[in-house]
Structure 1
Amino acid sequence: MDTFPKCSVCQQQFTLKSPVPYLLPCLHAVCETCVTSAAGGVISCSTCQRKVYLTDTSLQKDAVRQKEIFHLTVKHHPTELLCTNEDDGNQAVCWCQECEEFLCEYCQNMHSRIKLTRNHVLQNFCDMEPTVSKIPTFCGIHKYHPLYLFDKSCKKLICAKCRFDVHADHEVVELDVAADTVAKKLDQHRNELSTLQARQQSHMQSIRQGTESTDRTHNTLKETIGHTFQSLRSQLDKREKELLIDLESQTKETKATLHAQLTTSEEEWKTCTGVLDYIAIVLLYASKSDLVELESYVGYITRTYLETAAPQTHVVPTAVFNTNSLSTLKSNISVFGAILPRAVDEESVKDKDTQTDDDLMADLEMKHKMDLTQLKTKIGSDEKHIESLKTLTDKLNAEMESLKSRIKEKETTEKIASKTMDVLLGVARECGVHLLKSDVADRSMVLKCIHLKYDKDRVNLDKVHINTEGDLVNRKLDTRPAGKGRLKEYHGTCSTAPLPQAGCPQYWEMVSRVSLDKPLPGNRLNLEVGVCREEQSDVCHCINGQPSSCCMQVAHCTTHGGICIKTWKEGRYVQHLPETLPNTAGASHTLHYGVVYDDARKKIVFIDVKENKVMSTLDNVDSSQPLWPMFGVYNPDDVTVSMTLVLGSDINMTEEKKAMIVKALS
């Protein structure tokens, strides 16, 4: 059975009915009771012995462990779960993720019959698996607006309305993008910690092997010492005892050092394992908002552990038993002393003793002479080795100077080449030029990602405005009066210049963020992109009815009931893509469209960049006169629209996108 998480302070297991868990900076959990009753505002984690001062740290609820406890309870204690729909005390048999309620058999049947809930997915306890909830969290300030954006400056989730209020000038990304970034960081942390853990495992294994090697060496040396002194027991008892004591002391010291290192490595390994386990739980149970909120905690603890020097494989030096001059010692012992007859006088004994001392001194002198001769020979050899090393060093220094000179010359050449390449790449980026077919050196196969800009001097300020970030927004701006030359009928603006007669395909992109405040009524527009002649740009609120225009519109469709994409050419309806977006209050979408204009082939192509597909291709486009790119955003009472132009150098021109454009133009 999987282990239920425990409080790191009181060691009580968490349950669905127990106080909720809070997350400590060390990634361990503490129950709400221990948080509220912490003496002096200090919590001491019994797992890693870290102290947390609540006056300096704000703890958040551990949503990941709450979901883990929920799934463990469903898996191991389903009989404890009661129906929460009618609260009638019946045994629950399934879970509705949309309603977030436990249901008994009766409520399960009713749930499947009611029209409002019949499409809900009910999960039986025996089949439940950890899943990430896709139910959006709604803004606490703007009701019914989902939190689908992440403000990097404020480090918080916001809705579409927040985006244009207090967060208008902040760096904002979609929740999906932020969550994917955090998931990649967590995966990187997991890989780095796994590598560290593998090193720790290898280090512990080497220490264990060192301990075993020390034991084997100890046994071998003990046996050797025993055999050696067995023949000399009567003469060398004292020396044997001294050596055995020295061996035991050295072995004990070595093993104590190895044991301390092993204990430290095991603690670090356990700590690393705990972090890895929590990352695994996060990746299994955490929602995207949980991932964003947990990134700082997990990143901090990972960096703390990674800053610790990685352990290396421990090599224990092998001890040996020195038996030099053993044969000489045995020979001396065998002839040392004698049994003398009583007739020998004391002087003779003394002379004999003196003679034995002289022999010993002679032996020592001979040994010292031999050692001195060996030392002189070694010194002579070392001097020759030093001379050869000096010669080699001089040679290496000369080669190093030559190599440095060559490297310097190469770096100079590379700098010149790099500057030249930077200039060429800068020109290419500025122009945004791409070759559609690498094997065709034809101007018609050169695609220019042009640098379109909104014409701020012609924008219709009675209907729309351009915000500080350069986005076209479907709200009027009261602080800036309209001047001469501004559009008065068209709900938007045009580019600062018409499309050039380039003789090759030209390409630009728009990213539009659309948030429905309420369902759109019949045939209401969201946005429009297209081209027309200058004299037709301000005839009406949109250009779809003009004789020389081509455009694509995102609008409500009374036929299908949803929001559809419609394509127009020269005032005539051409194509209809049904129910592209749901017409639901609170729904938010990011639309990414691209437009290809080819004056040589007389074609215009509209592309859905997110879906990576061509939506419509218009042939026989009248390019006899200059065409102006147009951008319209509509209906501020029903929908919030923000349109961003993607500059030529920022367009991600993939090979797949090139192939799609080539196919559409052929």
Structure 2
Amino acid sequence: MRYLSRVIAGSDVRVNGGGSDQSRMDSFPKCSVCQQQFTLKGAAPYLLPCLHAVCETCMTSAAGGVISCSTCQGEVHLTDTHLQKDTVRQKEIFHLTVKHRPTELICTHEDDSNQAVCWCQDCDELLCEYCQNMHSNFKVTRSHVVQIFADLEPTISTVPKFCSIHKYHPLYLFDKSCRKLICARCRIQDHADHEVEKFDVAAETVTKQLEYHKNELSTLQTRHQANMQSIRQGTESTDETHNSLKENIRHIFQSLRSQLDQREKELLFDLENHTRETKATQHSLLTACVEDKNKCIRVLDYINNVFHYASKSDILGLETYVGEMTGTCLDTAASQTYAVPTAVFNTNSLSKLKATLSGFGAILTMDMDGKSEIIADRGTQTDDDFMADVEMKHKMDMEELKTKIDSVEKHIESLTKLTDKLNSEIESLKSRIDEKEAIEKKDAKRIDLLLGVARECGVHLLKPGAVDRSLMLKCVPLKYDKDRVSLAYVHINTEGDLVNRKSDTRPAGKGRLKKYWGTCSTDPLPQDGCPKYWEVENRVNLDKPLPENWLILEVGVCREEQRDVHHCIGLRPYSYCMNVAQCSTHGGICRRIWKEGQYVLHLPDTLPNTAGASHTLHYGVVYDDTRKKIVFIDVKEKKVMSTLDNVDCSEPLWPMFGVYNPPHLTVSMRLVVGSDINMTEEKKAMIVKALS
């Protein structure tokens, strides 16, 4: 920005003293390497691929040409990456300076070091009170938009930028190949063969993509917040479960304390370990989620700043960075909710444990013969007591064995039922598969029959097996409208060809074209969702060299009201065409593509501009109302000349055919349509690539 660079380069910076100035500076963006705030007087910010900023000083002094971002720990190799100036942050710094430190802003209109009080958007200048008064009195600048600092809000400049190569030529086109803004002269000279579009259209496309990124990141931020809340609730639930189980364990072991103190300690130790591991995992998940959320917020904040501060030309340079960071956020996104692992304390064997403890006391040993030897305290246990203990143990073992047998039998029964059910489903699936295969065979035969009929009618599938109408190419049966031929310039001979000679046998008649050197089709192109295709074969003989920019032939489409406004349709709105004409630049005969009156593409060297030169020119045209595209093909050279996007299909379009300048040449144009078109696989592949 002109005013910003002037302020940085030569302003007398006036700084308010005191701690309040330091607190205001805290709101300024910082360099992600040296952590110093950006100021108008300081080094300019440059944009890293991670959307953080690095100052020009750190960039030029980077060790080994590698910049390490301290915020996200990413590395950028300057040998592989070209950093662009961060114009969004530059404008943010300017507006923060206006808000918090306006005394630093000096008038850039006059070198008098006066304090600036306002900014002119049209002149891109800072003005003091004196210059503001003068500015308002001049007729030329009286209508300019001047904003007082107290009322200054971020605005997007609508003042056109001019080409640095061709002065006073505005930059209004965007070259998709070079990814830069160009003027009309750049388009004709160095960018003649490149695909371009109006930079307003390109900026609008990128703006919509940024809106999409913003919505995606907003949704992701909501998911992060929900996930964090779920994790926090899980942590609280884990604490509650821990406290509940701890009390439960203590309550149970109070009745067994004399016998199970050691076991209680072990279980409590296990519980603490389990809880610590669970909370550590949850803390790790929460930390990762917070980092992802902060990254998401950073990208969102930057996109919001783009919408506040960036011009359309700035937006075009930000698409790659913002898209990559959005993709990184979406790829590392966690789930929206967190499944909390809940610990439980198993007390299923508590009753059995108490019963076992109450009967505990028998000590058995094994003798050398494998028989049990009774070792008992004769003073405290009788033989009857011992036998009662053995019988109780045997009874408990038998009950446990019976329970296991019942469980196994139930499991076997369940498996048997499941097997029978699976066999039944397998038989049913086999029957369905057989039926489906029979139907598919019938459908295949029907499709082959329909395709045979379609080919005879001039319909071709652009992709094998395609069922979408947008992938069915229709060779429409176009016809010259003989009743509209402009007989004052051209006529249709006995062979049905359009010739650049006026007719001496038929009167002009009512309803004929009067200005256009040719004719149109009998009907407009149907809007049925199918791509349409037709060809023209032209025999051209030059009797003498053509003067500068004289036309030979034209083929294209236009709206009904544009058919007879001019001798050709190339210069008219709502028209799309290819013409062949003499070229002053190359000195020969060249092909030129036009879109709604705008010159789009120049293809040189069709044939030499010499007397006696003759050639057969064969061109094809594809019109796709679904994709809103028109494609021009050189059939002889087997290549696509140009694909026009964003074609206005809101109203029907009429095919147009023109032949010109009989004093210097003879042109005979034959219309090739329907089954007469030689539709090869190579040609279909070429059309598919052009429409994709």
In 2, Cα distance between equivalents of 1:656 and 1:365: 93
Does the 8 A contact of 1:431 with 1:448 survive in 2? Answer: no
Report 1:314-333 matches (<5 A).
314-330=338-354
Does the 8 A contact of 2:478 with 2:522 survive in 1? Answer: no
Does the 8 A contact of 1:453 with 1:495 survive in 2? Answer: no
In 2, Cα distance between equivalents of 1:85 and 1:356: 115
1:165 maps to which residue? 189
Does the 8 A contact of 1:429 with 1:649 survive in 2? Answer: no
Mapped pair 1:649 → 2:626: no
Match of 2:573 among 580, 583, 593: 593
Does the 8 A contact of 2:44 with 2:85 survive in 1? Answer: yes
Mapped pair 1:483 → 2:542: yes
Does the 8 A contact of 2:553 with 2:579 survive in 1? Answer: yes
Mapped pair 1:131 → 2:128: no
1:214 maps to which residue? 238
Post-superposition Cα deviations, 1:421-462, rounded to whole Å, max 9, x if no partner, equal 8659657574699xxxxxxxxxx996347989999877xxxx
1:10 shift after superposition: 1.6
1:20 shift after superposition: 0.9
Post-superposition Cα deviations, 1:354-378, rounded to whole Å, max 9, x if no partner, equal 9877766655554443333222222
Match of 1:102 among 126, 135, 138: 126
Decide whether aligned partners of structure 1 residues 656 and 53 sit closer, same or farther in structure 2, where only a CA change above 3 A counts: closer
Match of 2:177 among 153, 165, 168: 153
Does the 8 A contact of 2:214 with 2:300 survive in 1? Answer: yes
Amino acid at match of 2:116: A
Mapped pair 1:265 → 2:289: yes
1:263 shift after superposition: 1.1
1:375 maps to which residue? 404
Decide whether aligned partners of structure 1 residues 67 and 529 sit closer, same or farther in structure 2, where only a CA change above 3 A counts: same
Decide whether aligned partners of structure 1 residues 347 and 122 sit closer, same or farther in structure 2, where only a CA change above 3 A counts: closer
Match of 1:249 among 261, 273, 283: 273
2:659 maps to which residue? none
Decide whether aligned partners of structure 1 residues 431 and 452 sit closer, same or farther in structure 2, where only a CA change above 3 A counts: closer
Amino acid at match of 2:57: T
Report 1:67-146 matches (<5 A).
67-146=91-170
Q: Taking structure 2 as the reference length, what is the TM-score of the superposition?
A: 0.63
In 2, Cα distance between equivalents of 1:429 and 1:198: 51
Mapped pair 1:386 → 2:415: yes
Decide whether aligned partners of structure 1 residues 319 and 133 sit closer, same or farther in structure 2, where only a CA change above 3 A counts: same
Report 1:442-457 matches (<5 A).
447-448=524-525
In 2, Cα distance between equivalents of 1:78 and 1:174: 38
SS at match of 2:147: strand
In 1, Cα distance between equivalents of 2:37 and 2:572: 49
Post-superposition Cα deviations, 1:230-263, rounded to whole Å, max 9, x if no partner, equal 2333333222222111111111111111111111
In 1, Cα distance between equivalents of 2:568 and 2:192: 26
SS at match of 2:542: coil
Post-superposition Cα deviations, 1:88-116, rounded to whole Å, max 9, x if no partner, equal 23332211112111112221111111122
Does the 8 A contact of 1:210 with 1:316 survive in 2? Answer: yes
In 1, Cα distance between equivalents of 2:38 and 2:92: 10
Single out whichever of 51-60 and 398-407 deviates more from structure 2.
398-407
2:369 maps to which residue? none
1:194 maps to which residue? 218
Amino acid at match of 1:311: S
SS at match of 1:243: helix
1:297 maps to which residue? 321
2:605 maps to which residue? none
2:42 maps to which residue? 18
In 2, Cα distance between equivalents of 1:432 and 1:272: 56
1:146 shift after superposition: 2.1
Does the 8 A contact of 2:552 with 2:579 survive in 1? Answer: yes
SS at match of 2:339: coil
In 1, Cα distance between equivalents of 2:157 and 2:421: 70
Decide whether aligned partners of structure 1 residues 529 and 456 sit closer, same or farther in structure 2, where only a CA change above 3 A counts: farther
Report 1:146-545 matches (<5 A).
146-308=170-332, 310-311=334-335, 313-330=337-354, 349=378, 352=381, 363=392, 365-408=394-437, 416=446, 419=451, 423=460, 426=472, 430=476, 447-448=524-525, 483-484=542-543, 491-495=550-554, 508=558, 531=564
Decide whether aligned partners of structure 1 residues 323 and 484 sit closer, same or farther in structure 2, where only a CA change above 3 A counts: same
Decide whether aligned partners of structure 1 residues 296 and 395 sit closer, same or farther in structure 2, where only a CA change above 3 A counts: same
Post-superposition Cα deviations, 1:165-207, rounded to whole Å, max 9, x if no partner, equal 2221122222122212222222222233333333333332222
Does the 8 A contact of 2:547 with 2:582 survive in 1? Answer: no
1:80 shift after superposition: 2.9
Does the 8 A contact of 1:136 with 1:147 survive in 2? Answer: yes
Decide whether aligned partners of structure 1 residues 454 and 60 sit closer, same or farther in structure 2, where only a CA change above 3 A counts: farther
In 2, Cα distance between equivalents of 1:177 and 1:170: 17
In 2, Cα distance between equivalents of 1:57 and 1:495: 46
Decide whether aligned partners of structure 1 residues 316 and 495 sit closer, same or farther in structure 2, where only a CA change above 3 A counts: closer
Does the 8 A contact of 2:48 with 2:83 survive in 1? Answer: yes
Decide whether aligned partners of structure 1 residues 643 and 10 sit closer, same or farther in structure 2, where only a CA change above 3 A counts: same
SS at match of 1:30: strand
2:511 maps to which residue? none
RMSD, aligned α-carbons: 4.3
Aligned residues: 504
Decide whether aligned partners of structure 1 residues 334 and 394 sit closer, same or farther in structure 2, where only a CA change above 3 A counts: closer
1:23 shift after superposition: 0.8
SS at match of 2:651: helix
Does the 8 A contact of 2:136 with 2:142 survive in 1? Answer: yes
SS at match of 1:352: coil
Does the 8 A contact of 1:452 with 1:508 survive in 2? Answer: no
Decide whether aligned partners of structure 1 residues 170 and 350 sit closer, same or farther in structure 2, where only a CA change above 3 A counts: farther
Post-superposition Cα deviations, 1:615-662, rounded to whole Å, max 9, x if no partner, equal xxxxxxxxxxxxxx99999999xxxx9761686725658785369xxx
Amino acid at match of 1:229: F
1:529 shift after superposition: 7.3
SS at match of 2:342: coil
In 2, Cα distance between equivalents of 1:366 and 1:100: 100
Q: Taking structure 1 as the reference length, what is the TM-score of the superposition?
A: 0.65
Post-superposition Cα deviations, 1:361-409, rounded to whole Å, max 9, x if no partner, equal 6555544433332222222222222222222222222333333344445
Amino acid at match of 2:524: L
Post-superposition Cα deviations, 1:308-341, rounded to whole Å, max 9, x if no partner, equal 364363212322222234345445656778xxxx
In 2, Cα distance between equivalents of 1:630 and 1:216: 81
1:494 shift after superposition: 4.8
Amino acid at match of 1:657: E
In 2, Cα distance between equivalents of 1:488 and 1:451: 33
Amino acid at match of 1:36: T
In 2, Cα distance between equivalents of 1:483 and 1:196: 66
In 1, Cα distance between equivalents of 2:119 and 2:81: 36
Amino acid at match of 2:159: I
Stretches of structure 2 lacking an aligned partner (at least 5 in a row): 1-23, 362-374, 462-468, 480-520, 527-531, 586-590, 597-620, 629-646, 654-692
Stretches of structure 1 lacking an aligned partner (at least 5 in a row): 338-345, 434-443, 459-481, 498-506, 511-527, 532-549, 555-589, 596-608, 610-628, 660-666
Decide whether aligned partners of structure 1 residues 376 and 336 sit closer, same or farther in structure 2, where only a CA change above 3 A counts: closer
